[in-house]
Amino acid sequence: MKFFAAALIAFLSAASSAVADGAPPPRTPTADGGKVTTVPETATKSYGRQREFVLPSGNIGCVYTPRGGVAHYQPADGGPELSCDRVEPRYIRATLAAHGPAMLLKDVGDQGCCASGPVLDYGETWTAGPFSCLSGRTGLSCNRADGHSFFLSRKRISAD
């Protein structure tokens, strides 16, 4: 009995020191009977980075999400996606996905517009992926390479 207790203490001590030294814990079955597996870092998904810009008025801001998404957000169709918010006079979100017409969302639950920069000055054009936007004193016009577009300003909104 003493030998069994000594062997058990030695085993537990060795296992805890291996974990403390950075060695992975022994593999154990999961609750559903499967094996716990470790995915090599090289096999994990590589995410792109979102890009943002705002108009000089601070009333319109946009977020571009690349194909495949980012760690915290993946477009429903896989991306890329351009989403622009207009704050005043009423909060509106316009979105261009990888395919289909531009969409207007008039009941935006996560109103988080607008970042402080970078600023797309009036007369400048922004491009990424299949999207292009022109900033003007009269509003923001964005389109996708196939012709679908949206326009946002204080006075007018449109999408096709």
Of 123, 112, 129, 109, nearest to 51 by C-alpha is: 129
Task: Report which of 127, 144, 128, 126 is spatially closest to residue 136, judged by C-alpha positions.
Answer: 126
CB contact at 8 A, 96 and 102: yes
CA distance 150 to 160: 6
What is the four-CA torsion angle of 122, 127, 132, 134, rounded to 10 degrees? 0
**Which residue bears the tokens 């085993």?**
11
pLDDT tens-digit profile, the chain (160 residues): 444 444 434 433 444 333 334 433 333 333 333 333 332 333 334 467 999 999 999 999 999 999 999 999 999 999 999 999 999 999 999 999 999 999 999 999 888 888 788 999 999 999 999 999 999 999 999 999 999 999 999 999 999 9
- Position of tokens 């597996």? 37
* Predicted local distance difference test score (pLDDT) of residue 117: 81
User: Using CA atoms, how far apart are residues 53 and 118, in angstroms rounded to an integer?
Assistant: 5
Give the start-to-end residue ranges of the domains of the chain.
Answer: 51-159
Q: What whole-number distance in Å separates Cα of residue 152 and Cα of residue 150?
A: 7
Q: What is the pLDDT of residue 116?
A: 81
Reduced to 3 states (helix: H, G, I; strand: E, B; else coil), residue 65 is strand
